[in-house]
Amino acid sequence: AIIVYRLPWTWKCSKLLMKFIHAGLNTIAMILAIVSMVAVFEYHNARSIPNMYSLHSWIGLTAVIFYSLQLFLGFAVFLLPFAPIPLRAALMPIHVYSGLLIFVTAIASALTGITEKLLFSLKSPAYSESPPEAIFVNCLGLLIVIFGALILWMASRPQWKRPPEENAKVQRPNGGAPEGMEAESTMTDCSNADKSDVGFNSEAARKRNLKLDEAGQRSTM
């Protein structure tokens, strides 16, 4: 959902379509997050495991809460056509920053969660003995970090930013003439240049005729 505006092959699609895709992916992720939270609490209650005591659970719940707020404000401000343009412009940097922050928080929750699972599950052999399960999950954690780094790199590079719409109004720099006036000025200059060229050619022709007449008179004399 973060990079849906950053993919060059999506730049030909309309901005409204990309908004719906962005919102749809975030909605699916929110549904999956809620299902996961319910499954975790039911599993803990069935096994008589205390809830919300670890750093992993605190980070995960924080990510879900802020993600729900992010999704609600995104729908209300950017998807529905009721928010005024100045409000959208003011909230857009906050929306982008909070989205990246929630993404990093979710990665941190995943890393602490798989580490916690290894510490509790691997007894014989222990996690410290690096059994195949530990190596596999550690590699999974590194892949999650690499994935997060790639997403953040794509989201922070200006060259990956979606170009403005073709029908957007192009602002002329200060002191520059509007396009119509500039074209008119160019046409006027060209017409003046044509007139001056015609005048110059006529004067040259007149001088040539005078010289020919003088030469003819001398030959006659």
Phi, psi of 123 (to 5 degrees): -110, -45
37: pLDDT strictly greater than 50? yes
In this structure, which amino acid lies at residue 88?
R
Phi, psi of 163 (to 5 degrees): -65, 160
Sign of CA dihedral 40, 46, 52, 55: negative
The Cα–Cα gap between 91 and 69 comes to 13
Q: What is the pLDDT of residues 114-124, one digit of tens each?
A: 999 999 999 88
The CA dihedral of 146, 152, 156, 161, to the nearest 10 degrees, is 100
CATH class of 8-160: mainly alpha
Q: What is the pLDDT of residues 57-78, one digit of tens each?
A: 999 999 999 999 999 999 999 9
Write down the mean pLDDT value for the chain: 81
Pair of tokens at residue 187? 């046409």
The Cα–Cα gap between 120 and 50 comes to 14
Q: Give the CA count within 13 Å in the CB-facing half-sphere of 99.
A: 22
Beta pairing partners, 123: 126
Q: What is the pLDDT of residues 128-163, one digit of tens each?
A: 999 999 999 999 999 999 999 999 999 998 888 888
Q: How many Å separate Cα 190 from the centre of its chain?
A: 44
The Cα–Cα gap between 186 and 142 comes to 61
CB 46 within 8 A of CB 19: no
The Cα–Cα gap between 60 and 55 comes to 8
Domain boundaries, the chain: 8-160
The Cα–Cα gap between 197 and 159 comes to 48
Q: What is the pLDDT of residues 156-184, one digit of tens each?
A: 988 888 888 754 443 333 434 333 333 33
pTM: 0.71
20: pLDDT strictly greater than 70? yes
